[in-house]
Structure 1
Amino acid sequence: MIGSLGAPLITAVAETYGVSLAASQWTLTIALLAGAVATPVFGRLGAGPRRRRVVLWMLGAEVIGSLLTVVPVPFAFLLVGRALQGSGLGLVVLMMAVARDHLDEHRATRTIALLSVTTTAGIGIGYPLCGLLTDLAGVRTAYGLGLLITAAAFGAALLLLPEAPDRPPARLDVRGAILLAIALPALLLVIGETSLWSDNPALAVAVLLAAILLLIGWTFLELRTEHPLVDIKLLRHPAVAAANLVMLTGGVGMYLLFSLITRYVQTPAAVGYGFGLNTFQAGLVLVPFSVLGFVAGRLVPQWRDRLGARLLLAASTAFVLAAFVLFAVARSHLVEPVVAIGILGFGVGAFSAAMPTVILAVTPQAETASAMSVNAVVRSVGFSTGSALGGLILAAHTTRVFPHASGYGAAAWIGVAVTAATLLIIAVLPLRPR
């Protein structure tokens, strides 16, 4: 739900705080960057006996951040609040570790599958609610929903979250955390800033190369560190490496189509296409995405033993491919993008729920949070790349304000190619544990 407090509110934040849309965009960007950095750090801290305290501190920071978004403070404090909210995006991987430690194998598998699709469910609920609250009572009321939810989550954790099993305390690799905190935001920023690629491509390439070199250096540092932030050696296992590669390419296609559809339905019909939906109406379009994604998450544990990880990932990717093809060939009536995003939601939900099965099958129980935090970071990079790819393609087909309809077709067919490549990767790479 906290994740849905970004994109739908950008315009309202600009109007309320008297800032530009580019500045308002940072309320989304800073939360995503904070989450990308915090996820592996808190994943490591939560791997030992301090997990309950780590979770409570994360939720406490989210409550404080949510409070800063509600009270009338300068825009800079709003950004601080959004960063504190974003730091809690790594909670999902810690909850997976809780499930694996405290539930039997069958219930843990079902719970982890559901945890994998909580983001999908939160978007479908949060987008229309945020849009409605903003239209009725202003942006701070929508942020108030975030405060209510984070306070409820903090109370639930305080009362119900069990202590972690007695293990040696996890030591934080400070050097690795600092290097990652520089390299990863640089990578995500340069990927997501489509204007930088069109206005100053040389600078964009330079920043991208610098970020990649820093990440390579970080990888070597982690391999030589006695207590690394992320156990890179786990990535040497063919199944884990293959799963993360599939997550990267699959994430590009999934978020590309998600961003295309949400932008398309809000385009004014006077342009010659689109349906001119407002924020609340566009949020309702996402409800099928959320509902079918949650349904897929419920079904995956039942299919796992019958189909196996490879076939599950292939089938879910095929749903994403079908959604791309539908959007590419039919989008003149509102029902067609709605059906496409529903099919996409089912594919994303099944894909997200099947991914932990591959990784955790070969991961030691104590390394659950760390291994899944790496996968979460890979997903963030894939999603950012998909969003940027969509923006660049549409920008290339724009002459005035809105892109030509052909831009959406071109982006959709490129998404078909990316998703088909993901299917090919799933078919040839080793995804089964040895």
Structure 2
Amino acid sequence: MGKYYNGQHMIRAALLFVALVTAAIGSIGAPLITAVAEEYEVSLSASQWTLTIALLAGAVSAPLLGRLGNGRHRRKVVLAMLAIVVAGSVATVVEAPFAVLLIGRAAQGVGLGLTVLMMAIARQHLGDKAPSTIAMLSVASTVGVGVGYPLAGLLTQLGGVRAAYLLGLVVATAALVAAIVAIPRDDRDAPKAGPVDWAGAALLSIGLIAVLLVTSNAIRWTTHPVIAAAVLAAAVAVLAGWVAVERRVQRPLVDVRALRHPAVARANLIMLVAGIAMYLLFASITRYVQTPPTVGYGYGLTDFQAGLVLVPFSVLGFVAGRMAPQIGQRTGPFKLLAGSGVVVVAACGTFALTSAAGVAWPIVAMSLLGFAVGGLSAAMPQAILAVTPPEDTAAAMSVNQVVRSVGFSIGSAFGGLLLAAHTPSGQFAPTGTGYTTAAWTAAGLAAVAIAFGLHKR
């Protein structure tokens, strides 16, 4: 019995470590954008791609990994993808042109899709520990960003960009070793995953890439609004074609009929709306505290100091993740989702009303946001997996991961548009009113998510 428990404990620790590492590596580009532009002598917009391309790779890979990981080769897929992440990490460290760095960041981003396989492995091997583990995996994939930010900022200040990326190589290698040692071998008697719906994968990838490209950069909507709208319309058309294909093929990449289940559809809708709200506030607070006080507000924090602001975000996110499964069992996952939305509203109100009263208050708002994100992330698998067969765990959660990525991307772009609208002509910084507007807009979106959570049907 003790040996079985210790084995479960090792598996659980390895799964959480892999999820945390891949989330941190995927987001590590954010605090390095300025430093990368200087090191590689490229524009800030080009440097932004070191983050964007990783997020794109993660969003595109999640559904494909969800399907590949449904059969008897789940462990092999995990190890292969982690090997790709390690190879990509090497590419970010070596002396090479900027294009090689982008290729490396794309390879690292593939790891963002691994969380769905971690969830499937937990559901298969951890018994009664599976629900709490899956909840923490979902939390780690979201609030894990706060782990990498301060370390990346500090290492960049001490040793340059490659020192920060070297951290990614070290932890990626450690994650691969942990997976080799702790993840159980594949069951040879498990059913095969079946042929991959490559046509569906291509259509979904094209549609998602177009959506994320056009929603991840607010500048496109201010400088070329017609082109941005046309690309978004084309993306929607491609995704509509993807749905049509998935409904006809025998082994679809994603079972779109299952997505119409009321609980699944409701959970994904909440994730989309809440994701927009959460990232809108997250990006606003991060930008606000780094704004130099000479413009009339802000605290002029360095990248490292701004990264420290995210530490309580991550800590309270994990605290909420530990509490959420027990609360969800008593209240039901949708009431827990609604409660997390209430905390988002409280975070928005705190930032809107007190942001200028001292740097402690934006930190309080970020802490509340972390608690809300942790609760929502932990409740989401409860809502979806309650009506999902075990063999479809990875595929079902991969769709939720994509919805989360799209929501965060839209939130980031929407925040940029709101702040751009409040930036006087000829000025580089928006007025303080812009941040207040962004906070209350996020609160309104969170209220919509609360309504969806409390709606009975």
TM-score bin (small chain): over 0.9
- Distance in 2, matches of 1:44 and 1:188, equals 22
- Distance in 2, matches of 1:119 and 1:219, equals 27
Structure 2 counterpart of 1:101:
124
Instruction: Note if 1:224 corresponds to 2:248.
Output: yes
Preserved contact between residue 222 and residue 231 of structure 1 (Cα < 8 Å): yes
Instruction: Note if 1:152 corresponds to 2:174.
Output: yes
Q: Equivalences for 1:373-392 in 2 at 5 Å? A: 373-392=398-417
- Distance in 2, matches of 1:122 and 1:193, equals 23
Structure 2 counterpart of 1:126:
148
Preserved contact between residue 292 and residue 345 of structure 1 (Cα < 8 Å): yes
- Distance in 1, matches of 2:343 and 2:242, equals 36
Give the letter aligned to residue 91 of structure 1: L
Deviation at 1:403, TM superposition (A): 0.6
Q: 1:14 aligns with which of 25, 30, 37?
A: 37
> 3-state DSSP class of the match of 1:175?
helix
Structure 1 counterpart of 2:96:
73
Give the letter aligned to residue 255 of structure 1: Y
Preserved contact between residue 4 and residue 130 of structure 1 (Cα < 8 Å): no
Deviation at 1:120, TM superposition (A): 3.9
- Using the aligned pairs only, state the percent identity: 59
Give the letter aligned to residue 141 of structure 1: A
Instruction: Note if 1:115 corresponds to 2:134.
Output: no
Structure 2 counterpart of 1:419:
446
Contiguous gaps of at least 5 residues in structure 1: none
Q: Deviations over 1:39-88 (max 9, x none)?
A: 10011001100111110110000000000000111000000000000011
> 3-state DSSP class of the match of 2:332?
helix
> 3-state DSSP class of the match of 2:118?
helix
Preserved contact between residue 120 and residue 294 of structure 1 (Cα < 8 Å): no
Give the letter aligned to residue 326 of structure 1: T
Preserved contact between residue 334 and residue 379 of structure 2 (Cα < 8 Å): no
- Distance in 1, matches of 2:67 and 2:285, equals 36
Deviation at 1:23, TM superposition (A): 0.6
Give the letter aligned to residue 311 of structure 2: V
- Distance in 1, matches of 2:142 and 2:203, equals 30
- Distance in 2, matches of 1:429 and 1:329, equals 33
Deviation at 1:3, TM superposition (A): 2.3
> 3-state DSSP class of the match of 2:252?
coil
> 3-state DSSP class of the match of 1:169?
coil
Preserved contact between residue 56 and residue 109 of structure 2 (Cα < 8 Å): yes
Q: 2:313 aligns with which of 256, 268, 289?
A: 289
Structure 1 counterpart of 2:260:
236
Structure 2 counterpart of 1:258:
282
- Distance in 1, matches of 2:329 and 2:35, equals 47
Preserved contact between residue 248 and residue 379 of structure 1 (Cα < 8 Å): yes
Distance 1:152 1:179, change over 3 A: same
- Distance in 2, matches of 1:279 and 1:414, equals 26
Instruction: Note if 1:278 corresponds to 2:302.
Output: yes
Q: 1:359 aligns with which of 372, 377, 384?
A: 384
- Distance in 1, matches of 2:310 and 2:26, equals 14
Which stretch shifts more, 371-380 or 198-207? Answer: 198-207
- Distance in 2, matches of 1:336 and 1:414, equals 19
Number of equivalences? 429
Structure 2 counterpart of 1:319:
343
Preserved contact between residue 394 and residue 408 of structure 1 (Cα < 8 Å): yes
Distance 1:178 1:54, change over 3 A: same
- Distance in 1, matches of 2:66 and 2:78, equals 10
- Distance in 2, matches of 1:242 and 1:35, equals 23
The TM-score normalised by the length of structure 2 is 0.93
Structure 1 counterpart of 2:422:
397
- Distance in 1, matches of 2:276 and 2:206, equals 23
> 3-state DSSP class of the match of 1:330?
helix
Give the letter aligned to residue 428 of structure 1: H
- Distance in 1, matches of 2:27 and 2:165, equals 10
Q: Equivalences for 1:200-211 in 2 at 5 Å? A: 200-211=224-235
Structure 2 counterpart of 1:371:
396
Deviation at 1:231, TM superposition (A): 1.1
Structure 2 counterpart of 1:338:
363
Preserved contact between residue 99 and residue 112 of structure 1 (Cα < 8 Å): yes
- Distance in 2, matches of 1:201 and 1:299, equals 44
- Distance in 2, matches of 1:311 and 1:417, equals 18
Contiguous gaps of at least 5 residues in structure 2: 1-23
Give the letter aligned to residue 153 of structure 2: G
Q: Equivalences for 1:19-34 in 2 at 5 Å? A: 19-34=42-57
> 3-state DSSP class of the match of 2:325?
helix
- Distance in 2, matches of 1:236 and 1:345, equals 30
- Distance in 1, matches of 2:43 and 2:310, equals 27
Q: Deviations over 1:93-115 (max 9, x none)?
A: 100000000011x3001100110
Deviation at 1:121, TM superposition (A): 4.2
Preserved contact between residue 142 and residue 377 of structure 2 (Cα < 8 Å): no
Q: 2:81 aligns with which of 58, 61, 64?
A: 58
Deviation at 1:164, TM superposition (A): 3.5
Preserved contact between residue 321 and residue 378 of structure 2 (Cα < 8 Å): yes
Give the letter aligned to residue 353 of structure 1: A
- Distance in 2, matches of 1:340 and 1:90, equals 29
- Distance in 1, matches of 2:141 and 2:407, equals 15
- Distance in 2, matches of 1:138 and 1:429, equals 53
Give the letter aligned to residue 366 of structure 1: E
Which stretch shifts more, 67-76 or 154-163? Answer: 154-163
Give the letter aligned to residue 370 of structure 1: A
Preserved contact between residue 49 and residue 167 of structure 1 (Cα < 8 Å): yes
Give the letter aligned to residue 404 of structure 1: T
- Distance in 2, matches of 1:243 and 1:189, equals 24
> 3-state DSSP class of the match of 2:95?
coil
